[in-house]
Amino acid sequence: VAIRVTSLDSKRKMAAVMMGVYKSFSPSFCLRCRQLSSVVSTARAAGVSPVKSLPERVKIVEVGPRDGLQNEKTIVPAEVKIRLIDMLSDAGLPVIEATSFVSPKWVPQMADQMEVMQGIHRRPGVSYPVLTPNLKGFQAAVKAGAGEVAIFGAASELFSKKNINCSIEESLQRFEEVTRAAQATGVPVRGYVSCVLGCPYEGKVSPEKVAQVAKRLYSMGCYEISLGDTIGVGTPGSMREMLGAVTKEVPVDALAVHCHDTYGQALANILIALQMGVSVVDSSVSGLGGCPYAQGASGNVATEDVVYMLQGLGIHTGVDLQKLMDAGAFICRSLNRRTNSKVAQASCKL
């Protein structure tokens, strides 16, 4: 209700009324209001963005067939990988990372990339990106029929040297070759940044360093940047701090989060990311995964658990949870292991 006060006398009367209203509140309520105002002012001064409303829809990027299986010591047959991808497609996942065009010398599990790409049944509207570390990998991927590729860098110098055998700057120069070739052929490129919340060799990673690498990838043409907590050491606090730095350099609608669940923080970290405007989440069916060059890294956050949480928040994903759990059960039987998904474990007991 708007009240227009014209005369000075009326203004004084109105001020007296408002003071009376203020005094009618309890002292503890008034103290709480002053404290809240102080917290908001401090947060704004520190550059912390206010919590946004949750997105209505979240895109799930399923990384199980690639990131989930790459660390398996026993070679998974190509027909099993193909069947897994087809089941994930049937479950309604919009993006399924199919394989990696890296040297079999470094990642033997991905040596069957051509067979996998030629064997999957591609559903309309579903994207099947592949990882390409360099121009040679990109060319092989396109030859195999890949319609989207991904490049992967790191925010840690030591991890970059361990993972792709070059410095961060050298890796970015390689990626520019890939993005130029991709732009010339109309192939979308997604970028990954590893170790955004911690490194197994360097420890804490500066949020500003993450922001610099993400900005470079975005500037060279990556339509989306996935920020990976490779060893799962992040907390909601460090996730908020990192995203605060990155969103100053890259639009939030071009960001995704990729969380490992080593310390059980993945879902909490994802929720923080959603509150800060991120609407793309990487996950792996049954929580499969790890990293050959990140000792101690556990699996990715389970896709089943992410979908369950998002459904509980009223956020649309387009994923059929039961079909997703069926795909998880299939790959776990093939690997002769128990699922890491809490939702799947609980459902088996019900």
Residue numbers annotated as active site: 291
* Contact indicator for 120, 86 with CB cutoff of 8 Å: yes
Q: What is the rounded distance in angstroms from the CA atom of residue 205 to the CA atom of residue 326?
A: 38
**Residue with tokens 């928040």, as numbered in its chain:** 313
Q: What is the rounded distance in angstroms from the CA atom of residue 66 to the CA atom of residue 99?
A: 5
331, amino acid identity: I
Question: What DSSP element (H or E) covers 87?
Answer: helix 78-90
Q: How many CB atoms lie within 10 A of CB 177?
A: 15
Q: Please give the torsion angle defined by the CA atoms of residues 189, 195, 197 and 203, in that order, rounded to the nearest 10 degrees.
A: -160
By C-alpha distance, which of 43, 59, 63 is closest to 51? Answer: 43
Beta strands in 75-141 (DSSP E): 95-96, 99-100, 130-131
How many Cα atoms occupy the beta-carbon half-sphere of 227 within 13 Å? 38
List of residues 6+ apart from 84 with CB closer than 8 A: 64, 65, 285, 327, 330, 331, 334
List of residues 6+ apart from 5 with CB closer than 8 A: 11, 14
160, amino acid identity: S
